Structure 1
Amino acid sequence: MHSFTEENYLKTIYYLASRQEGEVSTNALAEMTATKAASVTDMLRKLADKQLIHYKKYQGVRLTAEGERLALQVIRRHRLWEVFLVEKLGFGWDAIHEIAEELEHVRSDELVTRLDAFLGQPQFDPHGDPIPTPAGQMPETGYRKLSEATAGECVRLMAVLEHSTEFLQHLDRCDLSLGCTVTVTEISTFDKSLLIHLASNQPVFVSADVARNLLVS
């Protein structure tokens, strides 16, 4: 049995590794978990002793096969609970992350199997993130960032990288939701901000930082 903290570290290592090449640094983990580097190092040693990660001081960390399996189980539970909270309990997509953070540690395989069936075996959570399969496979999406789109291009918003309440509420105020179609009208040469138009022809200004956190197809 692994502690909640250990599960959170495995999930965080997987998350960081999926967004970069190479091993995950201790500093990146410390920043993501808001924990002192010394405490991160202590936890990494524990995970290494349990053969859940490959870790050498000053050389970063990567998950072992078992560590990745456990991380994907936690991610699967988290994203299924997010679907449940939005679709069945009526929560907004901006109010579910912290609740799912607690529910993801309920380890009953039978509960997760029934939850998955009850929800109709969803493939994506309310933020557009793919839900790992029961076999521990993460579906490929092929999405790219809105910041990579070109002027005149029409794209569909598929997922968000930033899950903070403030960011999601900002998208709500801009009428930007998953599945909406937008056309990139202009791209500023100064700061790479975008002027986009929704299908309703409503113009929306999107900063470069926001565009980097929106995934489109």
Structure 2
Amino acid sequence: MTVRVLLADDQQLVRAGFRLILAAEPDIAVVAEASDGIEAVNAARRVRPDVILMDIRMPRLDGIAATSELTADKTLTTRVVVLTTFDVDSYVYDALRAGASGFLLKSAAPEELVRAIRVVASGEALLDPAVTRRVIEAFSRTRAAPHPSPEFATLTDREREVFTLLARGLSNAELAAQLFVSEATVKTHVARLLTKLGLRDRVQAVVYAHERGIIASHET
């Protein structure tokens, strides 16, 4: 199966560099490019890529607005990885809230870029616990809601336990080991709690947990 990728960045040299890296991978194909958010949205709806590498700061429509528009479109299954120059950036936080499945530094090594695309294409969130939590913590404090949403009350005790561990960045394998259950059982719990809370993936779960005070900064 070939992972179809759209490159969205206003710098042609950056797009060319990414294209060159990805051309060496037999299971990844760049199917379109865009130089701003409007082009990215239009191209995504036209070619329906599996993954978009989305720069945040672009003309006409920035990467955050473009991400929000695309993730709100229920006819698309495209997943977005936002690109940034800094790992602690309010724009990254906003992009994660908008529905991005993760973020990647532009300075990342080629193998990290390739891995990121494969991880997100497989349906997982690109979640580096240390970096992602730092970004979310840095910008969620002033926006945090005082209490969990009503939907949180619908979770079972086990689902709440899974949610708390998931929001701290544990993988399915780590969750299974800690809870003494199979990975298949963990996946079932995760899928159900994300559906109940209306969350897209693990990254959204981390954002939700921090914004609503379910996971306090000192716990992470």
Q: What TM-score, normalized by structure 2, do the two folds share?
A: 0.25
Q: What TM-score, normalized by structure 1, do the two folds share?
A: 0.25
